[in-house]
Amino acid sequence: GNSVTQMEGPVTLSEEAFLTINCTYTATGYPSLFWYVQYPGEGLQLLLKATKADDKGSNKGFEATYRKETTSFHLEKGSVQVSDSAVYFCALSVNTGNQFYFGTGTSLTVIP
């Protein structure tokens, strides 16, 4: 089947710390991979994506590389800011992009 597993939260970091949120997946076929971010009281927003193996998605200082050999798509940022505090969801899509599977979300709090 299709599923996404991401690291448990919550995660608390000091400003300018390095961030890694782990994400692994199982999928039938060749999925596309995504990271979405949810700020308090809002819907999800796309943060970055990768559609094939070895692609690197990047946006706002965040990066993730599609690793087929380890079935992973870990999210990283070199220096987090207070404004990065949010819940982060790893997701995959299959079936020509019609079906989506999300992880459970990882809550990040960045303290000054």
- Interacting residue ranges for another protein, rule: CB under 8 A: 4, 32, 41-46, 49, 51, 89, 91, 93, 95-105
What is the nearest approach in angstroms of another protein to the Cβ of residue 105? 5
Closest separation in Å from C-beta 15 to another protein: 27
Helix (H, G, I), strand (E, B) or coil at 8: coil
Residue-by-residue DSSP string for 39-95: -TTS-EEEEEEE-STT-EEEETTEEEE-BTTTTB--EEESS--GGG-EEEEEEEEET
Distance from C-alpha of 34 to C-alpha of 92, rounded to nearest angstrom: 6
Q: How far is the CB of 13 from another protein (least distance, A)?
A: 22
Q: Within 10 Å of residue 108's Cβ, how many Cβ atoms?
A: 21
Which CB sits closer to another protein, 17 or 100? Answer: 100
Q: Which is nearer to another protein, 21 or 91 (CB)?
A: 91
Report, in Å, the least distance between residue 63 CB and another protein: 18
Nearer CB in complex with another protein: 70/96: 96
Q: Any idea how long the chain is? A: 112
Nearer to another protein by Cβ, of 106 and 110: the residue is 106
